[in-house]
Amino acid sequence: MPQRPRIKILFVCHGNICRSPAAECVFAALVQRRGVQAAVEIDSAGVSSEHGGESPYPDTQAVLRRRGYEVFGRSRPVTKADASHFDFIVCMDRQNQSALLARGFPASRVSLLRSHDPAAQHDEVGDPWGYPEKFDGMMDVIEPACAALLSKLLQGVGQD
């Protein structure tokens, strides 16, 4: 039986140190819990290169660890190659989405994370940068949106 191609997902925010690495870590944990690591490739990047090579922001690391997630990754800017490599490019807010579309990323591959969560009342993950008290709220919307996205993707490959 031929092996199905991997689903390749890129999470994107502004600097790739708060929201997108949090989504990447959460999504990776969900993928691992479901036992579908071989079926999914996950990465994150930023529309800006200002934090290139940095670890996730300390407040992001703290909230991830408090909630039981492994923290990993280094910030990197989105590249032109990402547009063709990833099947799903999942942005945290409309500004990130607009930046990618302006760079020629295919609209059919670019979405907002919260658009995948049927219970979401808004389509953006707010930027907590500079507001330590907002990191728990960031996670409160990332976790269900990532779970909904994974379920949606696995239904498409007969895994759910």
Which residues participate in catalysis according to the annotation?
Answer: 13, 19, 127
**Cβ atoms within 10 Å, residue 106:** 11
Gap between the Cα atoms of 64 and 13, Å rounded: 17
What is the token pair recorded at 10?
């890129």
Helices (H), the chain: 19-34, 58-66, 80-85, 94-102, 135-156
Listed residue (111, 118, 110) closest to 148, CA to CA: 118
Contacts of 78 (CB under 8 A, 6+ apart): 10, 12, 45, 46, 47, 100, 103
Helix, strand or coil, per DSSP, at residue 46:
strand
